[in-house]
Structure 1
Amino acid sequence: MPAPERYEAVVVGAGPAGLTAATYLGRFRRRVLVLDGGPSRATWIPESHNTPGFPRGIGGDELLARLRDQAEEYGAVIRPGRVERLESVPAGFRLEVGGVRFEAPTALLATGVVDRLPDIPGLEAAIRRGQVRMCPICDAYEATDARIAVLGSGPLAQREADFLRTYSPDVTVLIVGEAEDAPRDAARIALSDLRFERDQVVLSGADGETPFDYLYLALGCASQAALACALGARQDERGDLVVDSHQMTTVEGLYAAGDVVRGLNQIAVAAGEAAIAATAMHNRLRRA
């Protein structure tokens, strides 16, 4: 097998956190590789209005394209491929992607989370249109005074509905499944009762059709932390990676940033954590 390709830093993930870290590391004049394991969940954003510096909004695809261009401007190498193995070696870390190996003394995981999605026909298209949403912190302002439904299976749906009532008094909780701790005032539905018509979400039932302007999903998400956990990195009770004030996990030299770290899944937070992690990685390399 060929010798591993060597870099000073490897970033796993090409979402806002990973690409921001790559820009910082490139500007620190480090040889940095970004491994892009597939589309970031940011690609689902029709238009973000809370991303700093874009008062008139920016779509997820355009934002990622700009971040990628910026990282490459400063020398970052971006390669497609999902990391199949991450292990500790005397030189730091070895990663394997499609039979190709890479080594670096530092590594950053920006692998994000995967949303738990209901099985509803047309869901992905509705997400891209903005009918279905997953982050009230991101876009509830644009739903001010609208008719909102929150779909969930337990207390998370109630918490999200309470948050959304800051923006609209017309918020309905829709519960799927047999959650024992479901809110008493929630409506129980079958997913087959939901459909998307033009710019509305329609719930068909015994009482006729109830239209909503937006449907928020409150089904949670799964952290993409398996690579770090295989090395013994610690997770908190939510499944997020535990990091120190410099974004280093409990594995020496392994850093993490973005949604894989904590529950406030925000582009601005991911960028800030990436800047902290990249600076710590640079200083670690400098001391070495």
Structure 2
Amino acid sequence: MHDCIIIGSGPAGLTAAIYLARYHLDIALIDNGSSRAALIPCTHNHAGYPGGINGRDLLERMYTQAKSFGVSRQTATVTAIEPVGDTFIVRMGDAVAEARTVLLATGVVNHRPKMDDALHDRALEQGALRYCPVCDGYEVTDKRVGVIGTGDHGMREAMFLRGFTQDVTLIAPDAEHMLDESCAKALDDAGVERVDGPCGGYAIEDGGLAFDTAHGRMVFDSVYPALGSTIRSELALAAGARGTDEGCLVTDEHQRTTLPGLFAAGDVVKGLDQISHAMGQAGVAATTIRNELNTRHPLRR
């Protein structure tokens, strides 16, 4: 019987593992190897790294730190979380683990443009394809930027990026744009160009990402897909926790979900999808877990 099972070893999961291990708790860290942070070519928003740091390098450093306090990571995909009294059964296919508490740090998965994986990864590594304007809008200052999206979400992403460069184009992913009058006016007032889709024929050309549109072939220094994401909250929702309409988990100020004993931190929770925010939530969750377990029976007897 573990004190806590952490599902996901991105920045939130690893931060929680460090905290809980240093609280002398018995924890299990389970991960399927798909942290979104691993896709970051170089983050400059993470304090303490003046030259920036690669996402995989950051995760490896965090895991090395966790290992120094006795944390080991199990590679597996969790298929179910089942509350049983005041404990939980965590299923990984035929394997089973038990814990007094569970912390879900499973994050989200970005919806990608329709391109092959090799091209996608190459474009991402070169900065021709980017997913987070909050993270790296600074890097596209005064460059030619394309945003693949439409509707309110596409408009808001294009308008956010307009704060970094005057050259922003919003391209509909499939056919004509779906923009109401207020969205169209906001884009027009900001000088954001609008181009209909569909988008296709992606390739790296002239140091940027090129693709076909209804207005011909276009090349951008960087392209941001504004296609939404899948929030990996299904395990908690199936167990009975409450989510928002978008699928984010609802938590209180201590990162408790509506299911007692189940906690959540990071991008799976509604909030700013940033490493710093995820780590802060994880610290709060881990400390609350420690204090709640201590009320059940004193720790370090």
Give the alignment's TM-score, normalised by structure 1.
0.93
Equivalent residues of 1:7, 1:104 under 8 A apart: yes
1:12 aligns with 7
Offset of residue 153 of structure 1: 3.4
- Return the offset for 1:77: 2.5
Query: Contact (CA 8 Å) 1:91, 1:104: kept in 2 or not?
Result: no
Shift of 1:194: 3.5
TM-score under structure 2 length normalisation: 0.89
The residue that corresponds to 1:164 in the other structure is 161
In the alignment, the residues of structure 2 paired with residue 191 and residue 14 of structure 1 have an alpha-carbon distance, to the nearest angstrom, of 34
**Greater CA drift, 151-160 or 197-206:** 197-206
Q: CA deviation at 1:40?
A: 0.5
Q: Quote how far apart the aligned CAs of 1:236 are.
A: 1.2
Q: Secondary structure at the match of 1:156?
A: helix
- Corresponding residue for residue 56 of structure 2: 61
Does residue 225 (structure 1) correspond to residue 233 (structure 2)? The answer is yes
In structure 2, the residue matched to 1:3 is none
For residue 215 of structure 1, give the secondary structure of its aligned residue in structure 2.
strand
1:253 and 2:251 are equivalent in the alignment: no
- Counterpart for residue 132 of structure 2: 135
- Mapped to 2, the partners of 1:249 and 1:36 lie a distance apart of 20
Q: Which residue of 1 aligns with 2:81?
A: 86
CA distance in 1, matches of 2:225, 2:92: 33
The unaligned stretches of length 5 or more in structure 2 are 185-192, 297-301
Could you tell me how far 1:70 is from its partner in structure 2?
1.0
One-letter amino acid matched to 1:134: Y
SS at the partner of 1:201?
Answer: strand
Partner SS for 1:186: strand
Q: Does 1:237 align with 2:245?
A: yes
Within the candidate set 21, 24, 27, 1:26 is matched to: 21
How far residue 273 of structure 1 moved from its aligned partner, in angstroms, is: 0.3
Instruction: Pick closer, same or farther for the CA change 1:95–1:207 going to 2, 3 Å.
Output: closer
The one-letter code matched in structure 2 to 1:144 is T
Distance 1:277 1:76 in 2: 17
Q: Aligned to 2:21, what secondary structure does the other structure show?
A: helix
Matched, 1:39 2:52: no
Task: Map 1:261-272 to 2 at 5 A.
Answer: 261-272=269-280
**Percent identity between the two aligned chains:** 41
Write the distance in 2 (CA, Å) between the matches of 1:98 and 1:206: 46
Cα 1:91/1:235, change in 2 over 3 Å: closer
Relative to structure 1, is the Cα distance of residues 203 and 252 closer, same or farther in structure 2, using a 3 angstrom cutoff? same
Q: Secondary structure at the match of 1:118?
A: coil
Q: Deviations over 1:232-274 (max 9, x none)?
A: 1111122110000100000001000000002421000000000
Deviations 1:8-49 (A, max 9, x none): 110000111000000000010111110012221111100000
For residues 68 and 198 of structure 1, the distance between their equivalents in structure 2, rounded to whole angstroms, comes to 38
Indicate the SS of the match to 2:266: coil
Cα distance, 1:206–1:85 mapped onto 2, change above 3 Å: closer
Aligned amino acid, residue 235 of structure 1:
G
